Structure 1
Amino acid sequence: MTRILYDQNGMTDIEVSPEVAELFHRLRVFSHFDSPPGIQVGHRLYCTSHAPMPSYVGIYRSHHLPTMGAFSYSFSFLDRHVVIGAYCSISWGVRVMGINHPLDMFSTTAALYQSHPIFEAAYADAGRRPAWRDNPQKPFPVIGNDVWIGQDVLLGRGITIGDGAVIAAGSVVVKDVPPYAIVAGTPAKIIRSRFTEHERRLLQWSRWWEYAMPDLMQRPADDIPAFVRSLADAINAGTVRKIRKFDVSLAELCRSGGVAEFLNGDLSLTEPASPLDLSTMPDPGAEDAIAPPLDAPPRRGSGPVFKVQRG
């Protein structure tokens, strides 16, 4: 039976048992916890109490299991509280900023709000009880689907990175990134968009990242309307599978002692896809002939899509 080592405040630490190792093998969860690669029995795994069951993911530099969508991978240590969508590519050295110190108190010292041996020693020497104050923190970043984050990027807390965004190597991201924006710099600023307004709307309408990778790769890759139409027709023809989402979290499964029973059940990682309503597919409209909010040009490759934002 899998041991729960810690289970408080929305965080669950699990000792990897042979059953959990087998479960991850069956779910196609890959890691470099040791050599050879793979989750090893006896390791401590850190996850949130509500993180959905992962499948087809690569977590190559961490014992933390963030919420991560299928066909995503990370070569960086990312805390369990980070949320990552599907089909994301995260390079080495990506980090999340630490906690904020208070700016509206008489001092920014952590002695005001955080336990630490040096502070506890001072209270003990004075014969007093610690008096920690609240210091609310912003949540960890939320990373959308199909996001590419380059090497040595620093992410601020409380930000959301939209679907399809690209973060250039070495960037410091302190504000939300719109879908399909390419950003770079310190602090990161929008350089351009990957696609026109119409192409962005088509991709987000299709929600292609919800579907199994082998069913996507043979479709037109550099013609967005053709890709979306091909995918939609195949979905409605019943030849595309959807990534399955399990209705139990890893923490819940381990806490209930149900890993063995789960392994004996249906572990199919894909399922039939529901038909799409083609009448709702976005058409090029008058708004595409006018500079949209993100200033997209009519064609990709014809110049910058986003104006560089100053300030």
Structure 2
Amino acid sequence: MTAPQYPARLDGSGRRDRLMSTLVAVGAAYRRLAEFSGRRRPPVRAVDRRLPLVVDAVRREAAGVVSLRLSRPDGAALPGWRPGAHVDLTLPSGAVRQYSLCGEPEDRSYYRIAVRRIGLASAEVHALTAGTRVTVRGPRNAFPFVAAPAYHFVAGGIGITPILPMVHRAAAVGACWRLVYTGRDRASMPFLDELSALSPDRVWIRPDSEFGIPASGEELLAEKSASAAVYCCGPMPMINGVRVDLAGISTAVHFERFSPPPVVAGEPFRVLLRRSGRTLDVPADRSTLDVVREVLPNVPYSCRQGFCGTCAVPTPDGGRVRICVDRGPAVLEL
């Protein structure tokens, strides 16, 4: 093959650009080689990341809270994970929900999750019994536990689940740490015995029932050392209190919430469901997912926070819209 000729250079001299001709010839040879090798390359196979597991045990951890111990049916080791990780649990009904892993990362013979009964999906989890087969995907980590000079942990209610492995890891490596754990009352707060066995002087159990009112951000941050990274998980009022009282303080702050983020300063807009032929008005204070589910109740979703991608809907231009968090006019393939 003869390399293309370039009769004029950028300076208009009309002389052949030998360097460019050489580069074009090399590029053409590389493309021919790639096409040849590509014909011999085996097809790429999709990786099935689903894990078929079995419920080993169900244990009551607090009022309205049970923990599930999940393992492989053949007893083989599970994929490793780090504190803060979660799995997507597919329930017998087909619903998919995310739950934090709250066991021991070093022990790969099982996963442990804990679930408070607050809705239909969690009620389905509570109905599971030992021997039930389930499927999970993961683990994945959207709340990573990173190295820091010291740690200040804040957990509210079931928000203790991602925090618990972090506390265990901090204690195991000899790090300086403190945990403030709050909830409605002691009966509703899981894993109290497990935490008290770690280091009672570093754990402050602060039930609302014993103080009359929920804890303020200032209380939750009591005795935090100046160098401590803050890890916080729980209901939004608790998280907001911590964030307000940490404003302006130079410290690493990490949050995870179990509820969808509120819509702040939103504007109303419309979305077109192309296949259904519907046009929906989305109010300023609601998500697209909320409005779509009123007409299409089976549309899939999971975390409602934009992490998992379950609710990402294709658009005619090849894009995808996460209808739980993305806001604005759109045409959706629904």
Q: TM-score, normalised by structure 1?
A: 0.29
Q: Tell me which structure has the larger Cα radius of gyration.
A: 2
Q: Which has the higher strand share?
A: 2
Higher relative contact order (CA 8 A, sep 6+): 1
